A and B are shown apart, each in its own frame.
Chain A
Amino acid sequence: MKKGGFAGRVLYVNLTSGEIKKEPLDLDLAQKFIGGLGMNLRLAFDRIKPGVSAFSPDNPIVLGTGPLVGTSLPATSRVYAVTKLPQSRAIGWCGGGGMTFGCLLKNAGYDHVVIEGCSKRPVFLKIIDDDVEISEASSLWGKGVEDTCTSLWDTFGRHAGVISIGQAGESMVSFSMAFIDRTSTLGRGGFGAVMGSKRLKAIMVKGSKGIQVADRKRYKALSDELLNNIREYPYLKEWQDLGLVKSIPFIPKELYSKIKKRRLACVSCPIGDKDIVEIPDGDLKGLISCSTSVVNLLTPIVYGFKDYREAIKCISILDDYGIDMFEFFGVLGFAKELFDQKIISQDILEEEIRLDSLHSMETWARKICFRDGLGDSLADGFEGIIRDFGKGAKRYAPYIIRGMLPYVGPRGPLVWNLFGTMELGQALDPRGPHVGASGSPTYFAKRPLGQFPRHLIRMGAPKEAISRILPGLDSPKGEQELKIGRLLNYSHNWFCTLGCLGICARAQINRFYSASLCAKLYSAVTGIDTTAEDLMKRSDRVWTLLRMANIREGFTRKDDALPEKWFEEPAFKDYLSGNRVIRQDLDQMIEDYYDERGWDVQTGMPTPRKLKELGLKES
């Protein structure tokens, strides 16, 4: 049978030498690592010299999409990048809803793009099918994300996919992001700064080659059934109309309907969650903002903003600079605390820090992006502040994991105190904390344990794992338990499967997919017959390779340590019992996680037996 799904080529670009190469995708390797996120990681693993700095020309950016991207399957648009990230100094992934970029990259004939070196002058990468060029970008350098995208769309047409950084990435702000089609983000960890270090302002892609599926008949039957399931979902319309506003109560629905202009979707997504809003009145009347979600636009309210219009304006500014908002507010909160503690003096502070003031936040965003005064320290994140203000500053820092702010927690910006896989995952993903529920049933608070097995099977956990995750489930008298560490193993593998294929991992989307369906879709699209067990084993291989890549960088068990402040009051609560979570509980969860993965429980190293089983010895 013919092969489908994959575009079939990898584009290699060296910004130092200017060399551009197009090479066939190694299909055997792609099959072993599924594609998308997995293949990105495999390509990066081969090319990253251990110990390389995130900002070294030798640090490659490997960007790519999965074999389902570009088809009509629901929400298959994800774009992933793998590189050495500046905040965690780990080899990590960034991923975003691909908007049109992923689909167009595949249509241009590339599954992956490997970018190495560093340009002497600002450039953008132009990809129009086989026409690939490193183009002059001095007129774009210094522009925000909005103007950069608009400028490229004016030149190349609105049907171009664009990944762009703003001024924060140019200044290598450690918490800068890249934006996909102005709306979606490759964020957390400092991906924007890696692009900036290479003087790579943007990547623009247009493609017209098309993507074939191997078995059209089988594809149609599976696709029709999936679409029907989505159509019959009772909450479909509500999710389409409200997006995250449906589940996050701090935004009144009346306010949302007043400012909502249009909801946007990534390619093929049935529950588009991007927003275009317009401020209808007041001094900011007429301001139109486009964001990954209206929830993001209104997040400054959490930090004390009284006027929602000013909150929208604030996030619009941060988005345009290309700054991660959670890290921005976290870093400024820390700096303010140091001022209150007289560790930062008035003459260094220059401008008052007020987390509830548009004027103050706008001033500090500018100072950070242009590394002006104290903004230079702040631009290097928590690490920069501690570096410049000594160890005395450290005790006032919020809880930090791998140099970043975990934003879900009892004292995090989003108040959530039940400890599930997302919380443990913030510590155990090498890239550092991010929001990644991975379809885990603990994403929803207090879900009855009886519902867990169905979800676990859907996520590809083998039946025999259920009794290890849920001891006592079938015993009417036995005490029920939930082993978060063991569950996280399958949550990571499931997330990885979705990332490799190109399916959105959001809970509202991945609920329609199962490991079994993914295997059928992969088989129909690529022509490579695959079972669910096979697919999950490959995901296990990918996630273990991620671990190996970071062990090679020098990371050990101690880097999985959890911040001491997590155990202070108010503490996390056990998902099941509601009891306070103490350090011993979390240490046990980490050991459970290692054990379930087949890693040494003391060191966290994948065992030789596990590596042999996954065929990773030769990697």
Chain B
Amino acid sequence: MNKFKIEATPERCTGCLICQLVCSEIYTKRFNPSMARIKVDILGVDCLISFTEECNECGVCVDHCLYGALKKIPREKRK
């Protein structure tokens, strides 16, 4: 189990999809948003960020998010 969990703050997301790009590249060696383990859906004003069952919370999406929409939360401190 990873030391952290990923927490999403959809209010901060702009839909830039960099998380999906880097996630897919790590696991498929191709930049392919449709193969990402994180999914961002911007529906009008609303935004939904979800993770597929394959997601192992490696954190590459968090490392690349420049908007603060994704964060690593240490497990021991997580309520």
Q: CB within 8 Å of B: which residues of A?
A: 70-72, 100, 103-104, 107, 158-159, 207-213, 216, 227, 230-231, 236, 240, 261-270, 272, 276, 278, 288
Known: A72-B22, A158-B43. Is A103-B17 also a contact (CB below 8 A)? yes
Known: A107-B33, A278-B45. Is A267-B17 also a contact (CB below 8 A)? yes
A272–B17 CA distance with the chains assembled, in angstroms: 11
Inter-chain contact B31/A211, CB cutoff 8 Å: yes
Known: A209-B32, A216-B29. Is A100-B17 also a contact (CB below 8 A)? yes
Inter-chain contact B30/A212, CB cutoff 8 Å: yes
9 contacts between A and B (CB under 8 A): A107-B32, A107-B33, A208-B32, A212-B31, A265-B15, A266-B16, A267-B17, A272-B14, A278-B45
In the complex, what residues of B have CB within 8 A of residue A107's CB? 32-34
Query: Taking the complex as formed, is B73 at the interface, i.e. its CB lies under 8 A from any CB of chain A?
Result: no
A-B interface, 10 closest residue pairs, ranked by CB to CB distance from nearest: A210-B30, A210-B32, A265-B16, A265-B14, A272-B14, A72-B21, A208-B34, A270-B66, A211-B31, A261-B45
A216–B35 CA distance with the chains assembled, in angstroms: 18
Seed contacts A158-B43, A262-B42, A266-B16; 6 additional CB < 8 Å A-B pairs: A207-B34, A210-B28, A261-B45, A262-B47, A264-B14, A264-B15
The one of A72, A236, A264, A288 in contact with B31, judged by C-beta atoms closer than 8 angstroms, is: A72
A210–B25 CA distance with the chains assembled, in angstroms: 9
Inter-chain contact A208/B35, CB cutoff 8 Å: yes
Inter-chain contact B21/A71, CB cutoff 8 Å: yes
- Give, as a whole number of angstroms, the nearest-CB distance from B19 to chain A: 9
In the complex, what residues of A have CB within 8 A of residue B41's CB? 158-159
Inter-chain contact A210/B66, CB cutoff 8 Å: no
In the complex, what residues of B have CB within 8 A of residue A265's CB? 14-16
In the complex, what residues of A have CB within 8 A of residue B47's CB? 262
In the complex, what residues of A have CB within 8 A of residue B44's CB? 276, 288
Q: CB within 8 Å of A: which residues of B?
A: 11, 14-18, 21-22, 24-25, 28-35, 41-45, 47, 64, 66-67
Closest to A208 in B: B34
Known: A159-B33, A210-B35. Is A269-B16 also a contact (CB below 8 A)? yes
Inter-chain contact B45/A288, CB cutoff 8 Å: yes
In the complex, what residues of B have CB within 8 A of residue A216's CB? 29
- Give, as a whole number of angstroms, the nearest-CB distance from A327 to chain B: 29
A212–B30 CA distance with the chains assembled, in angstroms: 5
- Give, as a whole number of angstroms, the nearest-CB distance from A241 to chain B: 10
Closest to A290 in B: B44
Closest to B35 in A: A210
In the complex, what residues of B have CB within 8 A of residue A227's CB? 64, 66
Inter-chain contact B45/A211, CB cutoff 8 Å: no
In the complex, what residues of A have CB within 8 A of residue B21's CB? 70-72, 103, 267-268
A216–B27 CA distance with the chains assembled, in angstroms: 13
Query: By CB atoms of chain B within 10 A, which of A100, A230, A266, A267 has the most?
Result: A267
A210–B47 CA distance with the chains assembled, in angstroms: 24
In the complex, what residues of A have CB within 8 A of residue B66's CB? 227, 230-231, 236, 240, 270
A532–B22 CA distance with the chains assembled, in angstroms: 27
Closest to B17 in A: A267
